[in-house]
Structure 1
Amino acid sequence: MSEIKLTESAPTEDNGEEKDWAAAKAFFDNLKTNKPRPPKPRYAVTIAVSSRTLFNMVKERKIYEDEGLEKYVAYQMEHESEPLMPGVAFPFVQALMNVNSRLRQLYPDSEELFDIVLMTNNHAQVGVRLINSINYYDLSIERFCMTGGESPIGYLKAYMTNLYLSKNSDKVTEAIEEGIAAATMFTADTDNELKIIVKQHGLDTFFEHEQEFENKPLAQVP
């Protein structure tokens, strides 16, 4: 079963909303993706990506801002079978999964290099559409964390996150201040491949270099 981490409560407008959250949480705990969950790789690079960065939820966000939480949740439930459109981090996540797939072909006995965690502060009932979208695009994401509106920092630390990707610059800044490498993503203009130059020294040397500098944040880019 997918690993799902939820907080005990979420920002609510009244007691009825708290009860609704509890019921939705119980339902969400039983959801599964199409892929069985393999053991977490010991030496994987853990990348946490926010749901609004992985998927394009601009329209849904506007409903939330203009019409409120109840209308937002109702819309998501009504469209739970309709996959969300890819967001700015989607090509990057696909690229990481392509690397995992290629490494499994080259080194069948090796563990996966990248482990993806989906971070979201969405209402639990919205998780149905998120998981349906993950299944639709055949993404290898089985680890989910719903923060219930709380800061993601504690959860990022619990998952031993190596990189956090979000559209929210404030959360990215907070993560960096806590020593977690993080980046704000704006546009999806990358290919579905992670282009790694290893012609001079080979793949093993590249991995050795990345391990040596694993705690040094990458330079900022657009």
Structure 2
Amino acid sequence: MPYDIEDKFVIAVASSALFDLTESDRVFMDKGEDEYRKYQREHEHQVLQPGNAFPLIKRLLHLHTGETEDQPVEVVLLSRNDPDTGLRVFKSIEHYKLPISRAVFVTGNNPFAYMEAFNATLFLSGNPADVKEAVEQGFPAGCIYPTDYIDDDEDSELRIAFDFDGIIADDSAESVYQQGGALDSFHQHERLKAGEPLPPGPLLRFFTEISKLQRRELEKNRSNPDYKPKIRVAIATARNAPAHERVITTLRQLDIRVDEAFFLGGIDKNRVLRIFKPHIFFDDQVGHIEGASRIVPSVHVPFGITNNKGRQAEQPPGKQSN
């Protein structure tokens, strides 16, 4: 029977996001492809350490009862490697017992081109150039940054935090602020538009699929009060009153609930992220990601006006071998 990928919540992940490829990337950059290929073969049975997206992917893939048909999330590996050098990644996937069975190896090309073929809602990579190009072509993608975060294996809950403008919603409201340069003008605009939902942003579909998983968890809790829901979702935005109302209007139109919302009005997002402790945080501004990535796994989505007129994603260093 053909496998219907359209019924699945699919995430595409590069090996540079799923595993720590620091050493093998160093070999590739310093010694070239032939030595890299030799290195990967020689270390084929040496398990790779978890990468910065590993806490998210592990928890998403464990959101099932043990039956294959009840696994709500599909993860597809999209890799710049060829199948030969990529074998080490699959052996590491097997070691960690991650139910990932599908992969694309493109031998140095940009793998995100195959996102639509797999119905992927998000492409996570450690390669900023790939991510930038993907977003420019209209694909939902994010570059995950290096972090000092240490995952707690005893913590089975999955916590995800999102910025709002440029992530869940588009950057049309942000454009008003960037072009006008005055906070009062932005607040006046958003007060007038308070009852009008914002257009979709680059990660809206991913956000919606996470919400569906959350509803599923809540339904389990209603049928079994002893079951503790495993997903918590937060929004951490620089908006504050009166601009907060349009966020709520947009969420109501989407029929999506969030567990926590932080309308920070310029307060450093790290102050709440330290307490919420997300396993992944998405933001469209490099300045926010550079700070947050020190304490939680963080993803820069290079979308919209803040990235077109400001700094581009310069870190982390490009990883050509993923």
Per the alignment, do residues 40 and 115 of structure 1 end up closer, same or farther by CA in structure 2, a change over 3 Å counting?
farther
How far apart are residue 124 of structure 1 and its match?
A: 2.5
Match of 2:50 among 66, 79, 86: 86
Q: Which runs of 5+ in 1 are unaligned?
A: 1-37
The equivalent residue for 2:208 is none
How far apart are residue 109 of structure 1 and its match?
A: 9.6
Match of 1:166 among 112, 125, 134: 125
The equivalent residue for 2:142 is 183
Q: Does the residue aligned with 1:144 lie in a helix, a strand or coil?
A: strand
Per the alignment, do residues 66 and 219 of structure 1 end up closer, same or farther by CA in structure 2, a change over 3 Å counting?
closer
Match of 2:96 among 130, 137, 159: 137
Per the alignment, do residues 94 and 159 of structure 1 end up closer, same or farther by CA in structure 2, a change over 3 Å counting?
same
Inter-partner Cα distance in structure 2 for 1:116 and 1:61 = 23
Are the counterparts in 1 of residues 82 and 106 from structure 2 also a CA contact under 8 Å? no
Are the counterparts in 1 of residues 5 and 118 from structure 2 also a CA contact under 8 Å? no
Residues paired across the two proteins, number: 171
- Higher RCO, 1 or 2 (CA under 8 Å, sep at least 6)? 1
Inter-partner Cα distance in structure 2 for 1:80 and 1:157 = 30
Q: Does the residue aligned with 1:56 lie in a helix, a strand or coil?
A: coil
Match of 2:24 among 47, 60, 67: 60
Are the counterparts in 2 of residues 43 and 113 from structure 1 also a CA contact under 8 Å? no
Per the alignment, do residues 52 and 153 of structure 1 end up closer, same or farther by CA in structure 2, a change over 3 Å counting?
closer
Letter of the 1:144 partner, please give it: A
How far apart are residue 177 of structure 1 and its match?
A: 2.3
Inter-partner Cα distance in structure 2 for 1:140 and 1:60 = 24
The TM-score with structure 2 as length reference comes to 0.47
Are the counterparts in 1 of residues 5 and 119 from structure 2 also a CA contact under 8 Å? no
The equivalent residue for 1:27 is none
Inter-partner Cα distance in structure 2 for 1:155 and 1:213 = 30
Letter of the 2:125 partner, please give it: S
Match of 2:77 among 118, 122, 135: 118
How far apart are residue 87 of structure 1 and its match?
A: 0.8
Per the alignment, do residues 63 and 113 of structure 1 end up closer, same or farther by CA in structure 2, a change over 3 Å counting?
same
Letter of the 2:27 partner, please give it: I
Match of 2:108 among 149, 169, 177: 149
Residue 76 (1) aligns with residue 40 (2): yes
Residue 44 (1) aligns with residue 3 (2): no
After superposition, the CA RMSD in angstroms is 3.2
Per the alignment, do residues 124 and 41 of structure 1 end up closer, same or farther by CA in structure 2, a change over 3 Å counting?
closer
Per the alignment, do residues 83 and 157 of structure 1 end up closer, same or farther by CA in structure 2, a change over 3 Å counting?
same
Letter of the 2:112 partner, please give it: I
Percent of residue pairs identical:
30
Inter-partner Cα distance in structure 1 for 2:108 and 2:76 = 17
Q: Does the residue aligned with 2:75 lie in a helix, a strand or coil?
A: strand
Inter-partner Cα distance in structure 2 for 1:188 and 1:41 = 35
How far apart are residue 110 of structure 1 and its match?
A: 6.2
Per the alignment, do residues 82 and 194 of structure 1 end up closer, same or farther by CA in structure 2, a change over 3 Å counting?
same
Inter-partner Cα distance in structure 2 for 1:213 and 1:77 = 50
Per the alignment, do residues 98 and 149 of structure 1 end up closer, same or farther by CA in structure 2, a change over 3 Å counting?
same
Letter of the 2:77 partner, please give it: L
Letter of the 2:53 partner, please give it: A
